[in-house]
Amino acid sequence: MPPLLAARCVALAAATTLAAGCGGGGGSSSEDSVRETVGAYFTALSDRDFAEACERVSPDFKIRLVGFAERVYPDLDSNECVVIAERIATSGGDRLVGLQSRVRVRSVEAEEDRATAQLGPGQVARLQRIEGDWLIDELDFSGATGNSP
């Protein structure tokens, strides 16, 4: 994946994080919820449903997203997740949206209120359970190689 497209992919993923998991204990229930959260997040991105996606981001993720937007899009003049996500998606075009729709969770490690989902080579989602819901707290695509999300 070209570096600029990878950066936009990370930014969009960061921008709009759909986390649809429910609480519950450890083990497979948490792993299933993490998989559901990540899958629903990327589905929302590919559907360009940024409002739904932004409902699911962690507060820390939103703070980092605003910082990113201030650096990359100084003319945007917004700290709203949906506005930022839409701008990133527009910048990335249809190819970015297509890549988002192909992301799959390959493995999950969940313990208490933290989880890590491996999405592909060098592609990781870190989640945090907040008030019983799994929220994507960080997306790291820095080690991504090739064109497979």
Distance between CA 81 and CA 70 in Å, rounded? 12
Per DSSP bridges, beta strands 114-120 and 133-140 are unpaired
pTM for the structure as a whole: 0.76
The predicted structure's pLDDT at residue 20: 31
Q: Is residue 13's pLDDT more than 80?
A: no
Q: What mean pLDDT, rounded, does the chain reach? A: 81
The predicted structure's pLDDT at residue 147: 52
Q: What does the pLDDT average to over 40-47? A: 89
Q: How many CB atoms lie within 10 A of CB 36?
A: 17
Q: What does the pLDDT average to over 29-53? A: 91
Q: What does the pLDDT average to over 118-125? A: 91
Q: What does the pLDDT average to over 119-147? A: 89
